[in-house]
Amino acid sequence: MSLMIVVKKLFVFIVLLLVFFFGEIALTFSDKAYPSLLNDMEIPFSLMLDNEYSDFQETEVIDRSVTSFMKSWKVKGASVAVTKDEQLVYAKGFGTANDETGEEVKPGHLFRIASVSKLITAVAVMKLYEEGKLGLDDKVFGAAGILNDSIFLSYRDSRYEEVTIRHLLNHTAGWSRYAGDPLFSSLYIARKMDIKAPAEFDAVLQYALSRRLNYKPGSRYSYSNMGYGILGEIVARKSGVTYQDYVMMNILKPLDIHDMHIGRSYYRDKFPNEVRYHSSVGAMTTYSMDGSGEQVPIYYGGNNIELLGPAGGWVASAPELIKFLTAVDGFPEQPDILKPLTILQMTNPDAAGSGLFGWRGSDKYGTWWRTGYLTGSSALMVRQQDGLNWVVMMNTSTSKHSRIHRYVSGMMFRAVNRVNDWPEVDLFGREINPPHPIAEIPATNPKL
């Protein structure tokens, strides 16, 4: 190991110590204190990685493809990670993490992962299912339901009593995405209910229950953030700890993941190693969700990231997010955090009962994918049948908004399928060895 790498690692360690003792990483928000896994003094492996660790001749095609894509779509910063047979063979940042300071994106930078958060929540629910703490057909509302508090019993539509955990997981609970999204309406709900903005989860759920469902639970699919917000509350009720605590202590920490968190709404509250968010299509402003009347960028105060939590509020680095993916991908090289039958149930529409659990889609090629988009950021996570997983995260909205995923996927499928030999390296273990050729990857190009 070169002297320069040793010096860099020493510098990172010193910075982290200062952050631990003076940066107060475990901050308080929404009247709840969420302890960070950094409190145990574990240095996230992602912060020990540098871009130069993935400077391999074999993967230069990925470098060129991502750089060209960012230039074409005016993306400020991106982070990419790839695993082959559950070994981290590529982790690299591109562009700027903060356009004002010129800070370069490194593998350890955090990005908002938006609806990729739903997969984390689904895994938490299925973990509790495996532990026997809940059943997929348990009722959610009504006197016999999980959320049977008095404040949740004044629902307008008796069909709420039919909603089950399965319906929430596979987006068939009765809400339509075209009828307004309560998790993106905390300011409006606060004004409607005459309470202090922003409305917190209990008030948002009360408001949702005051409206009729759009269809009979279980009768059809309609993508719902609200359903996953409710699942976060169910995880807390059934585990006896907060949603984030359960995820951190029972899913992330056992996987040696120490730097994934529920994000924060305002730039002033962002994590020290979190990127800055942008839009390439001009200023996008709205009223601040805190009720101040201030006009703010949508991505800094327009959306209530803390409220989105289980449905879209997590932040992560690409290496740690893909480490999570290797624990739910069903590949044999590393043990998964869920049982094989559970993973099958999450990824097979027939087993899940309509939509998938947490995942956005799967196909006949054995490819599973999960997309995430918020104004200012996007994330795409893909599991291929040939032993490849990859993650792409960006800190800039484009003119395609959430449709950018189809262009990202096309770029990445072409790039990874042109890599004939992957470096013989596993960055998960911080072992930086010279690259050696390994088996050629079958050429497949399924469409998302």
For residue 312, being part of any structural domain is answered with no
46's CB contacts (< 8 A; 6+ apart) are 91, 107, 108, 259, 317, 318, 319, 320
Q: Position of tokens 């339509």? A: 176
In the chain, the number of structural domains is 1
What's the chain's length in residues?
448
Q: What is the pLDDT of residues 254-297, one digit of tens each?
A: 999 999 999 999 999 999 999 999 999 887 899 999 999 999 99
135 belongs to a structural domain: yes
pTM: 0.88
d(CA 201, CA 116): 20
Tens of pLDDT along the chain (448 residues) come to 454 444 444 444 444 444 333 333 333 223 333 334 445 568 899 999 999 999 999 999 999 999 999 999 999 999 999 999 999 999 999 999 998 899 999 999 999 999 999 999 999 999 999 999 999 999 999 999 999 999 999 999 999 999 999 999 999 999 998 778 999 999 999 999 999 999 999 999 999 999 999 999 999 999 999 999 999 999 999 999 999 999 999 999 999 999 999 999 999 999 999 999 999 988 789 999 999 999 999 999 999 999 999 999 999 999 999 999 999 999 999 999 999 999 999 999 888 777 899 999 999 899 999 999 999 999 999 999 999 999 999 999 999 999 999 999 999 999 999 999 999 999 998 544 333 332 232 333 333 3
In terms of Cβ atoms closer than 10 Å to its own Cβ (0-12, 13-18, 19+), residue 5 is middle
69: its two tokens:
């894509």
Domain assignment of residue 146, given as a range: 123-239
With contact defined as beta carbons under 8 Å apart, do 389 and 126 qualify?
no
The answer to whether residue 132 sits within a structural domain is: yes
Q: Report the distance separating Cα 390 and Cα 409, nearest Å.
A: 10
Report yes or no on 262 lying in a domain: no
